[in-house]
Structure 1
Amino acid sequence: MILPANFFTTQSVLVVDDIDTIRSAVKGMLQMLGCKDISTATNGERALEVCKHHEFDFILCDFNLGKGKDGYQLFEELKLRKLLKNNTLFVLISAETAIQIIHGIVELQPDDYLLKPFSYKKLESRLTKALEKRKVLGLIFDAVMANDYQGALEACDTITKLHPKYAMAVMRLRAEVFIKLGRYQEASILYDTALVTREFGWARLGKAITCYYLNELPKAIIILKQLAEVLETRVEALNWLANIFVKQNRLELVEETLIESVKISPKNIPRQRALANFSVLNGDWEVALRCFKTVLTNTRFSIHENIEHHFNYVHCLIDKAQTESELQRAKIFSQVQAVLRNAKNRFDPTIFSELEKVANARIAVLRDVLHEANASLLDCSQEIVVNCGKDSILQLAKAWFELGDYEHYETLMKLLPKESPSESIESVSEMLRIEKASKESNVKIAKLLELNQQGLALYKSGLYQASTAVFLEAFQLVPNNLQLALNLAQSISKGWPSNETYLLKKVTIKRCVNIIESQPLPLERQVKARYDSFEYDLKKLIV
């Protein structure tokens, strides 16, 4: 592509780098090219602010910008906030050659990626090539961005005729548009055509994707496993393998595949969240915690920073604590408090306070301080928590369930979606978590109701030892429910199974009393009258 002699003199350029000497060197190269309108920024925040008030033709941004946003996060935020013109060229610069950084940036799709050091001639050559590509293929990109897929196909026809040099690039874009339109067979034929010319990685990947949508899963797996061995296509191949394993309900393989994917591309937040969710589904708390923490780290200073990310990490710690000894629980609770302290001043204090109450309530349940748990949840604004999103709703529902209040639990679960809003692996993983939580809880509630009915029938028949045994079975399955605690306590006051120990009897009575007396005061008249009728006889058994 031959540019007009004065082309660069008309271009507006932004250079973003935290090191003065490098910023000056790049600016000097641009001046040698003829650029006159050159702005600079020392960090991501400043660059973002400049872009709010000025449109640029070129942005040259270093990947590592010191404290705050990195170049990856800046580019992503500029795109999401629509602060880049359709024809703005964004070039990332870095001395890093680590695979994970290169893959992460390729996924983000800047116009080019320059490795340091580079010369004035190299810069000119790369900018010229990027300009040519943008100019020729721009009509297709613009149509796709506007969701005008028919317009994109028409642009493909036009460009193929006018610029045969780009025929293969256009074929690739046409196939991707066909996939967006659900025309998978046509896309598959295009990929086959490309593969006759050469074994393009993108064409083999596209072929595997069409096999996925055409439900030819064994064929897709064979291709993707081969592509996962190739550096160029490894990340994308692993992601599509994970999608297939989700379809096949092979959740352990999903987790294993995503672990490999995030090693290469750790800055992909949706994938980290998906891996965290699948790890939770598999009970792999260490991996889940690592992912939730990575999400916290990688969203700091970015447009993706969200209060729910912090509380997802907190609640994952609490979930893990449920499987640990008392000593380990104490350590985890200290860790939770440290996370909350560090996050407290970064978000709206009202919202933070309400979400903190949910976390504190779950911790109080584990510490068996039920009056604190009740107080926290009753003082919590359900409206504020619900407005925070699906994760917060699920966490509040779990807190009520663990406290034994199934009415509140079921009300909240009804607010959650019944199906995934998209096919993305993150959305699917969220939906599977909701489904699993709902299924497990509903099974427990159904079993509780069944055992409770059996226990009541035995109690009414005067078979007190038998009724106590049945209520005790239910109590071990779902502790902390007030109605069950009343039934069990009243039954114990009449009889205790001869095959159970006195120690269990003593512990159970104390737990029942704790549940009943931890209810908000004053107790409902009916509950109080019933408790009063057997309280003396019950407590006399453990004096």
Structure 2
Amino acid sequence: MGVPYKDVSILVVEDQRPFLVLLKGLLTNLGAKDVMMATQADHALKYCRNHKIDIVVCDLHLGSNKKNGYELYQELMHRKLLAPTSVFLLISADAARPVVLGSLEHNPDDYLLKPFSQAQIKNRLNKAWKKNQFFHDVYNALSDEQYSVAHTLLESMDVPAVYYRESIHLKVEVFWAQRKYAEAISLLQSETALLPSQWAQLALGKSYLAKREFQLAIKCAAKVLELNRYDPDAHDIIAQAKSALHFPEEAMENMRLALKYSPYSLARQQLASQIALKNGDFPLLVESSLATWQLSKNTIFKRISYWCNHIGFLLDAAEAAENKAQRHRYQQEALLQVQRARHDDAILRLDEPFDIDIFTDIVTARVDVIDGKLIDAKKTIMASQINIESRFTEYPASLAPGSIQTLLNLGEFEEVNRVLNTLKEEKTELDSGTRQLIAQYSEQAKDGEDKYTHINRRGIQLYQEEKYADAKEAFTTALGLAPVNTGIALNLLQCQVKLFGQANKLDPLLVKEARQVYKIVNNAPMREQHQSKFENLQDELIRLGVTTR
């Protein structure tokens, strides 16, 4: 039985009113009685909140800088505003390969190119309706994350040939959801009739990839590409496997092909960012992180951390630049985007904690680091951390990577650990890209801290033994590893004061050295324990002529 048009509610979403009216007429001719119309995705969302919609016929492009058909479908399903068995038919006049592949990757019930006839839309809707009704109970169980129930239902169903592949597909999805990858592989290998197909090889490759059996994953993906060289998922699999096997050039080549064939996937752009970050491909990192933000900013999945990380990656590219002109270009692009953000509604209208002024300070500090202005960077980044503590009850995830990276560059390991521990204690939710950055910075912090802490502790021990000259040498070495670290700078100043006391007359070289160290901490925001130590040194430093105040 096809669609019972007289008994279902249909929503048509189309920004071009003539075609909207035409679509309603086509559906009315098929017998539909309840056909609602919307010209924007936001209007469609309101309809679905207030009405039970059985079928949505939606155009892909719904106006410039507005939610498109992909994004509407994602939000409807994420918010569960459509029943799992409702039909969503995506339509478009755009036949370009990236658009078509992008549409199919979002998994609507079907995709129909304009122009089409009444018979074509009837056939597509009937086909999707019948399938969804047949798997009605399974789709509901999957929507409720009742995977064992879904598996039991699938095992007990008498599946006709027309739906057999879909039943296997659903069983594999259930195994994936339960992380039973070996069972998924066993099922796929037992389906010898299906195994030669593009879909089955792709599913097998994804399962091997999840089990970290990278060579087998590559082999399956290669078979897919023999059938269809444009398949982006196959290139995704090879890119991930090659990256894991430490073949960065091949990984990046396949990642770029995947993006070329199907760039309108948020998950693919995120994957590209992660692989590019791991392999130091800064041009792709900048490109894919920007695409991640642009693809997400009109969706329910929008996160300001995507944009913040993109700005951070621009500065990573600047830091790694081969020449001054290239470095300047990346820096200026980052600063320009931050300036424009003050007038961007997508950033101004957020429902998550963020402060553009604080983020601007973090970016400014990072730029100063790259330009070698370490003392200026230290003052700015420390002020930003104090502002974060006073402005927010919890540390915003979006401000963490930039803060940690800058503090790492300055050797402020105590502050780095303070941020890392805060994120851990507050159980801050992180997107996959931010989580990768935080993990990377944690390793860098541990390595850097281990090196300088050993030397700093040696200096403290020598100081306590009143071996001030040796202590000074140790603290100076430690400061070389952490060039503007407040704690080390204060330890060195304290040691220098002791050396002044041992000398019969002031050593001009020692005064000059002390003044250089004093610049690190003078007028810099600092924690209470450091501020107290600094104030205790001030009078003696003035008396010795290191400073005048």
Scaled by the length of structure 2, the TM-score of the pair is: 0.82
CA distances 1:99-141 after superposition (whole Å, capped 9, x unpaired)? 2222222222111100011011111111111112112223322
Could you tell me which residue of structure 2 aligns to residue 347 of structure 1?
350
CA distance in 2, matches of 1:421, 1:147: 24
**What percentage of residue pairs aligned between the two structures are identical?**
24
Q: CA deviation at 1:392?
A: 3.2
Aligned residue type for 1:159: M
CA distances 1:23-54 after superposition (whole Å, capped 9, x unpaired)? 12211211221112111111112211222212
Q: CA deviation at 1:486?
A: 3.5
CA distances 1:449-505 after superposition (whole Å, capped 9, x unpaired)? 2333455677878785x766654443333221123224455777869xxxxxxxx99
CA distances 1:53-86 after superposition (whole Å, capped 9, x unpaired)? 1222211111011121111111111111111123
CA distances 1:311-368 after superposition (whole Å, capped 9, x unpaired)? 2223333444445658558635632532432345333697325752652563485344
| 1:38 match: secondary structure | strand
Aligned equivalent of 2:262, options 265, 268, 273: 265
Q: Give the alignment of 1:372-521 within 5 angstroms.
A: 372-381=380-389, 384=392, 386=394, 388-389=396-397, 391-402=398-409, 404-416=411-423, 427=432, 430-454=434-458, 464=469, 471-488=475-492, 511-520=516-525
Q: Give the alignment of 1:73-112 within 5 angstroms.
A: 73-112=71-110
Alignment partner of 1:172 is 2:169? yes
Q: CA deviation at 1:399?
A: 4.4
CA distance in 2, matches of 1:488, 1:332: 39
Could you tell me which residue of structure 2 aligns to residue 20 of structure 1?
17
CA contact (8 A) 2:395 2:422 kept: no
CA distance in 2, matches of 1:83, 1:39: 16
CA distance in 2, matches of 1:463, 1:94: 77
CA contact (8 A) 2:98 2:263 kept: yes
| 1:451 match: secondary structure | helix
Alignment length (residue pairs): 522
Distance change >3 Å, CA 259–CA 342, structure 1 → 2: farther
Q: Give the alignment of 1:290-369 within 5 angstroms.
A: 290-323=287-320, 325=324, 331-332=332-333, 334-343=335-344, 345-347=348-350, 351-353=354-356, 355-356=358-359, 359=362, 362-363=365-366, 366=369, 367=373, 368-369=375-376
Moved more, 24-33 or 531-540: 531-540
CA distance in 2, matches of 1:354, 1:76: 32
Q: CA deviation at 1:446?
A: 1.8
CA distance in 1, matches of 2:278, 2:391: 27
Aligned equivalent of 1:137, options 135, 138, 146: 135
Moved more, 357-366 or 144-153: 357-366
Distance change >3 Å, CA 100–CA 472, structure 1 → 2: farther
Instruction: Give structure 1 stretches of 5+ with no counterpart.
Output: 496-503
Distance change >3 Å, CA 122–CA 489, structure 1 → 2: same
Aligned residue type for 1:292: S
| 1:380 match: secondary structure | helix
Could you tell me which residue of structure 1 aligns to residue 152 of structure 2?
154
CA contact (8 A) 1:201 1:232 kept: no
Distance change >3 Å, CA 450–CA 189, structure 1 → 2: closer
Q: Give the alignment of 1:265-284 within 5 angstroms.
A: 265-284=262-281
- Over the aligned positions, Cα root-mean-square deviation in angstroms equals 3.8
CA contact (8 A) 2:292 2:306 kept: yes
Aligned equivalent of 2:201, options 194, 199, 204: 204
CA distance in 1, matches of 2:219, 2:201: 11
Distance change >3 Å, CA 94–CA 23, structure 1 → 2: same
CA distance in 1, matches of 2:204, 2:383: 57
CA distances 1:282-330 after superposition (whole Å, capped 9, x unpaired)? 4433322222221221122221222222322233334444456585586
CA distance in 2, matches of 1:222, 1:506: 68
Distance change >3 Å, CA 207–CA 317, structure 1 → 2: closer
CA contact (8 A) 1:178 1:187 kept: yes
CA contact (8 A) 1:16 1:42 kept: yes
Distance change >3 Å, CA 10–CA 350, structure 1 → 2: closer
Could you tell me which residue of structure 2 aligns to residue 128 of structure 1?
126
CA distance in 1, matches of 2:74, 2:384: 38
| 2:231 match: secondary structure | helix
Distance change >3 Å, CA 200–CA 145, structure 1 → 2: same
Aligned residue type for 1:49: K
Distance change >3 Å, CA 277–CA 180, structure 1 → 2: closer
Aligned residue type for 1:514: K
CA distance in 2, matches of 1:103, 1:270: 14
CA contact (8 A) 1:61 1:71 kept: yes
CA contact (8 A) 1:137 1:159 kept: no
| 2:484 match: secondary structure | coil
CA contact (8 A) 1:61 1:90 kept: yes
Scaled by the length of structure 1, the TM-score of the pair is: 0.82
Could you tell me which residue of structure 1 aligns to residue 533 of structure 2?
526
Moved more, 509-518 or 396-405: 396-405
Aligned residue type for 1:335: L
CA contact (8 A) 2:2 2:129 kept: no
CA distance in 1, matches of 2:282, 2:115: 43
| 1:524 match: secondary structure | helix
CA distance in 2, matches of 1:349, 1:196: 50
CA contact (8 A) 1:351 1:385 kept: no
Q: Give the alignment of 1:175-190 within 5 angstroms.
A: 175-190=172-187
Q: CA deviation at 1:538?
A: 7.1
CA distance in 1, matches of 2:212, 2:182: 12
CA distance in 1, matches of 2:511, 2:269: 46
CA contact (8 A) 1:15 1:27 kept: yes
Q: CA deviation at 1:218?
A: 2.0
Could you tell me which residue of structure 2 aligns to residue 498 of structure 1?
none
CA contact (8 A) 2:413 2:445 kept: no
